[in-house]
Structure 1
Amino acid sequence: MGRRKKGRDISGWVVIDKPAGITSTSVVNKVRWAFDAKKAGHAGTLDPDATGVLAVALGEATKTVPFVTDAMKAYRFTVRLGQSTNTDDAEGEVLSESETRPSDEEIEAALPALTGDIMQVPPKFSAVKIDGQRAYKLARDGEEVELTARPLFVESLVLVERSDPDHVTLEMVCGKGGYVRSIARDLGEALGCFGHVRELRRTWSGPFDVEDGVTLEELDAVAKTDAIMEFLGPIEIGLVDLPELPTTESGAVKLRNGNPGMVIGTGVQYGDEAWASLNGQAVAVGRFKAGELHPSRVFNTN
């Protein structure tokens, strides 16, 4: 007989304003403990030294994580010009240095090449897998790490501040799988001066904004009390990028049993991915076909 998971059945989203110096996994564990939840996950890792939006899903909300992970994200970050590091951030060992410092105009002229549909090589110290092993583990063990370029869509990349000749602050909006550290590295190489990330903050991720984030200190203050529910958002937040299709009581029963159920498909095309709702509550996600939703994910919140 399998061991039952400890904690309570609780579902929803918690937006954390992650501090520097802690891993994303540690944040998830902290949230899970504070809510005494059985199940938790997050929608997009932040490096330990990065801050900002880390959206944590509890319970049934974990089924909506892929939709948030696939959404656009925004970052504000500072690049240290004149140095490259083995990790492409300030934590790494300095590999190369340059006295060259580009002008603001030269920096702005280099940004379009890093915008749009680009191919990006992830940092050697990243969670990308190589033959089943994490790249960062191989790199730490001193092994040579060769990563292949992968596609990334960068919607915008703009210069917002130049505090001194050595530092430039940028803002970027990009799709899934983007590494800000790679952008800093590639920008430095394009400018002939090297570069790495000095500071990084995720300002929004899909439907979640840092202005709505709660700090770990605020969460600690109400941990395992009824007051903590103030910080729990509904499951449906993770589905805002999909069309909502109302269903009936009988349709909801069929969908929750994993069978196609009738929905009202206004403005949705055959084969489109959508989610069915009953009185505004998520019932299932699936494909719309001939007046029915064929479920791929079912939400058991009753």
Structure 2
Amino acid sequence: MAKVKKGRPVHGWVIVDKPAGIGSTQVVGKVRWAFNAQKAGHAGTLDPDATGVLAIALGEATKTVPLIMDARKCYRFMVNFGAETSTDDAAGEVLRRADLRPSDGEIEAALAAFRGDIMQVPPQVSAVKVEGERAYDLAREGIEMDLAARPLFVERLEILARPSADQVELKMVCGKGGYVRAIARDLGRALGALGHVAWLRREWSGPFEAAKGVSMEEIEALARSEEIDRYLQPLELGLTDLPEVRCTPEGVQRLRNGNAGQVLGHLPYGEEAWASFDGQAVAVGRYMGGELHPSRVFVR
């Protein structure tokens, strides 16, 4: 006998403007409980002290999470010069200090090396796995790791403000896997001033914007009520970066059974797309000669 899932079969996205002081996993748990949802996940971790957009996927929307993880993201953050910390942010222990303070021109010149395709070493306190364990767990045990550099594409990195000689506010648009704290650390080293993140905010991630997000207070106020579904966004919102094709009546039945199905559209052979029927997403897959070969099928 199949195990009965607890909760509602609710499907879609909840766009949260995460406050500081709470971890991403805690936000997912609170949102899942508030919606009484059977399943939940998120599209990209934010540090506990970070604020901004955290997109929570419920139900079948969790199948679109990998697509959002690959999307561009925008961060606004403040770098404090003069000290490097164990966590590369203001919460960590100061490891080294420096008296040098760079000029605006020196900062602008140094930023050029952090644009485009770069290699970035993650912070010691990060979610990177080391022999099956998270780096942040090992760091808490006092273990120092030699983390490998990882590729990152930085589309934009620019100065927004210079409040004082000790600080610079920056804006970055980057691809998957970027660590703002590593940018602050490496920029400080490149300038000889040392540095760490004072605060950071993720302004948008793919199609999701912090400015349009709901607060945890709003979610908690309507938790477990019928009205909370007003904060639920369509599952299809997580597919906006993919082209759409439409299923034929015969094709939708085949796709729902996990088989290749006929679709209407004109795409390059092998391109990834999503198929719809009556406005609802049916599957994601590869377009091949008038058919979509599914890699994910949505069951609603």
Determine helix, strand or coil for the equivalent of 1:68: helix
> By how many angstroms is 1:265 displaced?
2.1
- Measured on the aligned residues, the alpha-carbon RMSD in Å equals 0.9
Residue 157 (str. 1) matches residue 133 (str. 2): no
Determine helix, strand or coil for the equivalent of 2:214: coil
> By how many angstroms is 1:288 displaced?
0.6
Please list, as runs of the form range in 1=range in 2, the aligned pairs for 1:182-261 lying within 5 A after superposition.
Answer: 182-261=182-261
Determine helix, strand or coil for the equivalent of 2:264: coil
Residue 262 (str. 1) matches residue 295 (str. 2): no
Residue 121 (str. 1) matches residue 129 (str. 2): no
Residue 296 (str. 1) matches residue 295 (str. 2): yes
Any gaps of 5 or more consecutive residues in structure 1?
Answer: none
Equivalent AA in structure 2 for residue 62 of structure 1: T
Determine helix, strand or coil for the equivalent of 2:251: helix
Q: Which residue does 2:280 correspond to in 1?
A: 281
Determine helix, strand or coil for the equivalent of 1:171: strand
Taking the aligned partners of 2:295 and 2:160, their CA distance within structure 1 comes to 43
Taking the aligned partners of 2:99 and 2:226, their CA distance within structure 1 comes to 57
Please list, as runs of the form range in 1=range in 2, the aligned pairs for 1:18-97 lying within 5 A after superposition.
Answer: 18-97=18-97
Equivalent AA in structure 2 for residue 234 of structure 1: P
Taking the aligned partners of 2:50 and 2:4, their CA distance within structure 1 comes to 35
Determine helix, strand or coil for the equivalent of 1:263: strand
Q: Which residue does 1:180 correspond to in 2?
A: 180
Determine helix, strand or coil for the equivalent of 1:7: coil
Taking the aligned partners of 1:276 and 1:221, their CA distance within structure 2 comes to 36
- Deviation string for 1:4-26 (max 9, x for gaps)? 33101000000000000000000
- Deviation string for 1:75-112 (max 9, x for gaps)? 00000101000110111000011111001111111101
Equivalent AA in structure 2 for residue 288 of structure 1: Y
- Deviation string for 1:136-180 (max 9, x for gaps)? 111111122110101000000000011111111000000000000
Aligned residue pairs: how many? 300
Taking the aligned partners of 1:45 and 1:4, their CA distance within structure 2 comes to 30
TM-score for both structures, normalised by structure 1:
0.98
Equivalent AA in structure 2 for residue 253 of structure 1: Q
Taking the aligned partners of 2:230 and 2:165, their CA distance within structure 1 comes to 44
Any gaps of 5 or more consecutive residues in structure 2?
Answer: none
Determine helix, strand or coil for the equivalent of 2:107: helix
Taking the aligned partners of 1:140 and 1:130, their CA distance within structure 2 comes to 14
Residue 7 (str. 1) matches residue 7 (str. 2): yes
Aligned residues: percent identity? 65
Whether the 8 Å CA contact 2:16–2:56 is kept in 1: the answer is yes
Q: Which residue does 2:170 correspond to in 1?
A: 170
Equivalent AA in structure 1 for residue 125 of structure 2: F
